Amino acid sequence: MRGLIYTITFASLVGLAFWAYQENIKTKSAIAHTEKLQKEIGIARARLSMLRAEWAYLNRPDRLTELVDLNFARLQLVPLRASNFSEINEINFLGDPDLPDVVSLPVRLTLKANSRD
Amino acid sequence: MTDTIKRIAVRPLSRILPARIRGEDPDKIEKENLKIRHEQMRDFERVRSNIRLLLIIVMFACIYIAIAARLAVLASSQPAEPVAQANNSLIFAQRADIVDRKGRILATNLETYALYVETRHLVDPLNTAHKLANLFDDLSAKDLYSEFTGKRKFLWIKKKLSPEQMQAVHDIGDPGLRFGPRQTRLYPNGALASHILGGASFGKEGVHSAEIVGVAGIEKTFDQQLRNPTRSKKPLKLTIDLSVQAAVEHVLEGGMQLLNAKGAVAILMEVDTGQIVSLASLPDFDPNHRPRVPVRGAAAESPLFNKAIQGVYDLGSTFKIFTVAQALELGLIDPKTKINTTGPIKIGGYKINDYRNNGPELPVWEVITKSSNLGTARIAKLIGPEKQREFLSSLGFARPTSIELIEAKGGKPLLPKRWKELETMTISYGHGISITPLHLATGYAMLANGGRLVKPTIIEEVKLELGPRVISKEVAHNSLAMLRGVVMGGTASIADVSGYFVGGKTGTADKPSAQGGYDKEKNITSFASIFPIDNPKYVLVVALDEAQDTSGPEPKRTAGWTAVPVSAEIIARVAPLLGLRPKFNNNSTLSLTLSNWHE
């Protein structure tokens, strides 16, 4: 009887040791994988922030103003002014019955064009 | 225990029987034996418990040694991020961005490299020195060579490299040339809002990284917060609107050039919250290449000087409305009270006069629209020095503004040491008291929002509520009507921007000359305006330094010809950007009040 208990205990010790060894290996590889992913995320973020900075740099007001001036012949963009607004009753809807009710439309219809700021 | 203690019978027959024979008491033998047995048992127990105690001591000692050893290891080793759940250090080292009220980037970080040399690894110092000097204009081959061959083992060459420069240095190919990764602060909009942002530079530097520290403006005020790694992903949001700021600076710069001004200031503020939408001070600078603080000459001449919050000026007639508002509030006058405007007033060896003759008397509202110094001075006399000082202090004109820019502390108002009747009279029209343009904007915001104080702020997070009431709603309403009158028929008629009802007050103040007294040819012109005045939303303060309009036969130096047209153009440009819908029919209560006064 005692011999049997000893045998079982020893066998389970060997089994557990094997299991622990495997878990250790798995954990290590998972950590290595995480590290690699973190590095990739870090690089991606650095690139993202670089792109954001570039985007902000390309959209700086100075450059946009210059572009507007350069392309004036083609685009004819001018700063938005009070004269670019108009009243809702000044809009000609050509009496199209399919158009929605005038009153329920958003008011600032004329705001879209002609802004360069 | 049974194994270790030798059991001996307590009544051994070998002793009992002879004792009986001798007639002795056999119980004595038993007692004696029992005593011996107990002594043996006691000794045994003592030894055993001693062993146990020793074991416990050893065990605890082991535990304590283990804990102490772990602590020592933790204390002496380099800290490492827990790899499994923490983010990569690449992400964490960032300084937080600064964005405008719509989230557009005002300041961000850029990955770059610093160049350094480890001289013991240099293969060809002479060639390397020459090639580096060819690449960078500010380096000399001779100096570099003497450094390379000198005693130093390590030296910095460049703090920031562009990718092209880095490639060129790579191409030199000397193993002694090394690159250290760096983050550098980038202001993508260049000089735009430079005085607000301030600038940043490197603090402690190492080969692998360098800390970025704010040196001025918002970067310095919020340095700790921007550097805080837990907040690195949360940008600092300002109340500035980038497109409005660009338009304001554009117009202001144009105006400054046209009018040959030395400097210019513009502040655009929300009247209900005190939030600054735009703050410009010209000349400005590029925070990406922040100029050095001048060692010689006046600090105010440097482009680094923020005129809007650091510069204190006599702002002239823009002050008159405060005098009138206070007198109205105290019930000393009403808008139609006639005020004596005969001049000059001679007081304390000083003469007060009007710019032009306004006749013997004017109603109060016309004292404002015609900008009469005599009328205002006489109203101030009714108020008295003590009350005037209290009122101006309650507007915050006695201490620097509380805006969150480090330079604001420098904008300490200059008040007269002796505040008697003469000072009261000159201060009533803005002479003898120097405040920053931001103080003035705050005062006008108070008039515009119906009489409650506001605190100027530039941080979106700060939710400000209106401060204590300074003047009643009715007085504020009457003051606004007078300011509207200034634009409709007074000194600021150019400011009548179609669609946006503007009200405001001009100010022209001669600059103190170096010889004492005032210089008639040099002045500061200002225009403090409120728009749309029938439902006030914004205050705009524009001030120009030594501006003059030379388009006519004689140079015009008054605010009506300098600060007012610039302000009008700014309002016409930015009001649509601010989402204000123009109105072309004027049927507000304000114009009613004005026409009532006219009758």
- Best probe of the B interface among A33, A37, A85, by most B CBs < 10 A, is A85
Locate A94 and state its tokens: 């050509």
Q: Which of B87, B91, B100, B580 to mutate to test the interface with A (most CBs of A within 10 A)?
A: B91
Instruction: Tell me how close the Cα of B33 comes to any Cα of chain A, in angstroms.
Output: 42
Chain A: residue whose CA lies nearest to B585: A87
Give residue B492's Cα distance to chain centre.
33
Whether the per-residue pLDDT at B544 is higher than 90: the answer is yes
In a domain, A44, yes or no: yes
Q: Phi and psi (nearest 5°) for B341?
A: -125, 30
CB contact under 8 A, A46 and B89: no
Domain count, chain A: 2
pLDDT for position B320: 93
- Identify the pLDDT of residue B5: 61
Q: What is the pLDDT of residues B418-466, one digit of tens each?
A: 988 889 999 999 888 999 999 999 999 999 999 999 999 999 877 667 7
A42 to B90: CB separation less than 8 angstroms, yes or no: yes
Does A103 reside within a domain?
A: yes
**pLDDT tier at B11, thresholds 50, 70, 90:** confident
* CA of B151 vs chain A CAs: smallest distance (Å): 38
Peptide bond preceding B344: is omega within 30 degrees of 0, i.e. cis?
Answer: yes
Same domain, yes or no, for A1 and A28? yes
Q: Which amino acid is at A90?
A: E
Percentage above 90 pLDDT, chain A: 45
CB-based contact A61 B87, cutoff 8 Å: no
Q: In this structure, how many other beta carbons lie within 10 angstroms of the beta carbon of residue B449? A: 23
Q: What is the ipTM of this complex?
A: 0.72
Q: Count Cβ neighbours within 10 Å for each residue of B246-255 and write b for 16 or more, e otherwise.
A: bbbbbbbbeb
**Does A70 fall in a domain?**
no
Any domain includes A10: yes
Choice between A83 and B320, residue whose per-residue pLDDT is larger: B320
How many beta-carbon pairs under 8 angstroms link A with B? 95
Domain housing A9: 1-59
Asked whether residue A48 falls in the same domain as residue A20, the answer is: yes
Q: Could you tell me where the beta strands, DSSP code E, fall in B468-551?
A: 503-512, 518-531, 538-545
Statement: residue B90 has pLDDT above 60: no
Q: Which residues contact B593 (CB under 8 A, 6 or more apart)?
A: B477, B478, B481
CB contact at 8 A, B260 and B240: no
Say yes or no: A26 and A53 in one domain: yes
* Whole-number percent of chain B with pLDDT over 90: 43
**A33 lies within 8 A of chain B by CB:** no
CA dist list (Å): B78 to A90, B67, B73, B207, B400? 73, 18, 9, 17, 46
- Find chain A residues with C-beta within 8 A of B244's C-beta: 117
Q: Say if residue A82 is in the same domain as residue A48.
A: no
Same domain, yes or no: A54 and A102:
no
B83 CB neighbours in chain A (<8 A) are 31, 34-35, 38
Rounded to the nearest integer, the mean pLDDT of chain B is: 87
Domain identity same for A5 and A49: yes
Judge if A54 and A96 occupy the same domain.
no
A56–B105 CB contact, under 8 Å: yes
Among all residues of chain B, which has the CA nearest to that of A50?
A: B110
The pLDDT score that the predictor gives to residue B566 is 94
Per the domain annotation, does A68 fall within a domain?
Answer: no
Please report, for residues A6, A7, A11, B37, B356, the alpha-carbon distance to residue A3 in angstroms, rounded to integers and kept in the order given.
Answer: 5, 6, 12, 41, 123
Counting Cα atoms < 13 Å in the Cβ hemisphere of B307 gives: 26
- Strand order from edge to edge, sheet including B263-270: B276-282, B263-270, B538-545, B518-531, B503-512
Mean pLDDT of B263-267: 95
DSSP secondary structure, B140-181, as one string: -HHHHHHHHTSS-SEEEEEEEE-HHHHHHHHHH--TTEEEEE
Give CA–CA dist A89/B315, Å, rounded: 45
Closest Cα in chain A, distance from residue B580 (Å): 9
State the pLDDT at residue B2: 47
The 10s digit of each residue's pLDDT in B328-385 is 999 999 898 899 988 788 888 888 888 888 888 899 999 998 889 999 999 999 999 9
In terms of CA atoms, which chain A residue is nearest residue B497? A82
Q: How far is B85 from chain A (nearest CA, A)?
A: 8
**d(C-alpha B528, C-alpha B440), whole Å:** 8
Could you say which of B84, B109, B189 has the minimum Cβ distance to residue A49?
Answer: B109
Do A84 and B575 count as a contact with CB atoms less than 8 A apart? Answer: no
Q: Is A71 among the domain residues? A: no
Residue B65, pLDDT > 60, answer yes
A105 touching B (Cβ < 8 Å): no
B98-99 vs B236-237, strand pairing mode: parallel
pLDDT value of position B93: 57
| B186–A61 C-beta distance less than 8 A | no
DSSP A114: S
Pick the residue with more confidence: B52 or B122? B52
Residues A52 and A81 in one domain: no
Which residues, at least 6 apart from B509, have a Cβ–Cβ distance to it below 8 Å?
A: B313, B314, B315, B316, B317, B430, B431, B523, B524, B525, B526
Residue B221 has a pLDDT of 92
Same domain assignment for residues A7 and A42: yes
Region B546-567: what's the mean pLDDT?
Answer: 88
| pTM exceeds 0.80 for this model | no
Q: Which residues of B touch A30 (CB under 8 A)?
A: 84
> pLDDT tens digits for B144-178?
888 888 888 888 888 888 888 889 998 988 888 88
- Number of Cβ atoms within 10 Å of the Cβ of B303: 18
Q: What is the dihedral of CA B399, B403, B408, B409, to 10 degrees?
A: 50
H or E stretch including B53? helix B26-76
Q: How many Cα neighbours within 13 Å face the side chain of B484? A: 25
Asked whether residue A43 is assigned to any structural domain, the reply reads yes
Contact call for residues B433 and B319 (beta carbons, < 8 A): yes
Whether residues A38 and A87 share a domain: the answer is: no
Checking if the pLDDT of A114 tops 50, the result is no
Q: Do A82 and B500 touch (CB under 8 A)?
A: yes
pLDDT band at A101 (very low <50, low <70, confident <90, very high): low
Return d(Cα B182, Cα B110) in angstroms, integer: 8
DSSP, residue by residue, B254-281: HHHHHTT-SEEEEEEEETTT-BEEEEEE
A115 pLDDT more than 70:
no
Residue B80 sits at the chain A interface (C-beta within 8 Å): no
Range among A11-20, A72-81, B377-386, B544-553 with highest mean pLDDT value? A11-20
Instruction: Say yes or no to pLDDT of A97 above 80.
Output: no
The pLDDT score that the predictor gives to residue A111 is: 44
Q: What contacts B319, CB < 8 A, 6 or more positions away? A: B427, B428, B429, B430, B433, B507
Is A69 inside a domain boundary? no
Kindly state whether residues A85 and A116 are assigned to the same domain: yes
Q: Are A1 and A47 members of one domain?
A: yes
